[in-house]
Amino acid sequence: MNIAKGLIGAALLAAAAQGAQAATLDVVRQRGAVACGTTTGFAGFSAPDAQGKWQGLDVDLCRAIAAAVFGDADKIKVVPLNSQQRFTALQSGEVDVLTRNTTVTQQRDTALGIIHAGINFYDGQGFLVPKSLGVKSAKEINGATICLQTGTSNENTLADWARANHVSYKPVVIETFNEVVNAFAAGRCDVFSTDASGLASIRISKLQNPDDYVVLPEIISKEPLGPFVRQGDDAWLNIVRWSLSAMIEAEEYGVSSANVDEQTKSANPNIKRILGVTPGGGANLGLDEKWAYNIVKQVGNYGESFERNVGQGSPLKIKRGLNAQWTQGGLMYALPIR
């Protein structure tokens, strides 16, 4: 009897999972747009430009998913979310995917009913201070007040690092990102601690005199950032995961938005598979065979997106570092499309 109940329960779970797998793609197609949860405004990653159009590395990933599904990268719905709202919004179906600076952790992948679909930026937690503070190392901030945003992994990471390094501090924990920035700019705290990419963005885009501030050299954590989807939604998970992978692999093979049409004539079998000249990849995902071609043509490869949003072509001027291709000493290693 217990075995029978167990089998029935497993069957029900499997049926529910199958329903979930079909649901998101169907909902997206019926809506006519991919609903992406972004930050409320994080220059270089997800923020509106002067015309109100959302731009950034994470927005490009949202656009890539739309290009894969619809053949049109503009079919997106941006839903700005703060750190407290983001997981609930995904769990409830308010958004189809989180494309915002969210760290992949074991707890998030297992306990929240969500799962990551790849890494689009390797980061680490750091410290931003006014130059007037006169410190050269994070280990010199003993007794400082440190601004943090609630609902992030930064609070626990900082506490662990401070305990291990015998550094005392007073946390100033504030709910919304902009309020934290304003508190730091107003001198309510000595230090701002968050992901290093966030500190670069804050320094350039949020502070009146960027040259009066410096990011300290210490990186105290691993912060692999990437998109999240709901668990049990494997068809949608695959679309998001492989949309990101297509951008990374296109860069590896030198396929860009500028040369993608020429590259459809390439004799390289890997390029032919990526661009759908050799069919199969699209059918595997339930998409058009030109799904990856549309991503590269309309959004660009990963390197193009990185450079214009956060790299040397942007105000942030973040070096590729860990986000370089694996062939260039970085960690960007695309799963093969075959």
Question: 185 to each of 173, 181, 334, how far by Cα in Å?
Answer: 15, 6, 39
pLDDT higher than 80, residue 327 = yes
How many whole angstroms separate alpha carbon 119 and alpha carbon 102? 10
CB atoms within 10 A of CB 186: 8
pLDDT tens per residue across span 106-160: 999 999 999 999 999 999 999 999 999 999 999 999 999 999 988 888 999 999 9
pLDDT tens per residue across span 279-310: 999 999 999 999 999 999 999 999 999 999 99
pLDDT higher than 70, residue 67 = yes
Please report the pLDDT score of residue 185 as a whole number. Answer: 93
Please name the fold of domain 123-223: D-Maltodextrin-Binding Protein; domain 2 (3.40.190)
Q: What are the domain boundaries of the chain?
A: 123-223
Question: 64 to each of 1, 132, 144, how far by Cα in Å?
Answer: 49, 43, 42
Please report the pLDDT score of residue 175 as a whole number. Answer: 83
When the pLDDT of each residue in the chain is averaged and rounded to a whole number, the result is 92
How many whole angstroms separate alpha carbon 74 and alpha carbon 67? 8
Please state the pTM of the whole predicted model: 0.88
pLDDT higher than 80, residue 249 = yes
How many whole angstroms separate alpha carbon 325 and alpha carbon 334? 9
pLDDT tens per residue across span 15-31: 444 444 448 999 999 99
The answer to whether 289 and 283 have CB atoms below 8 angstroms apart is yes
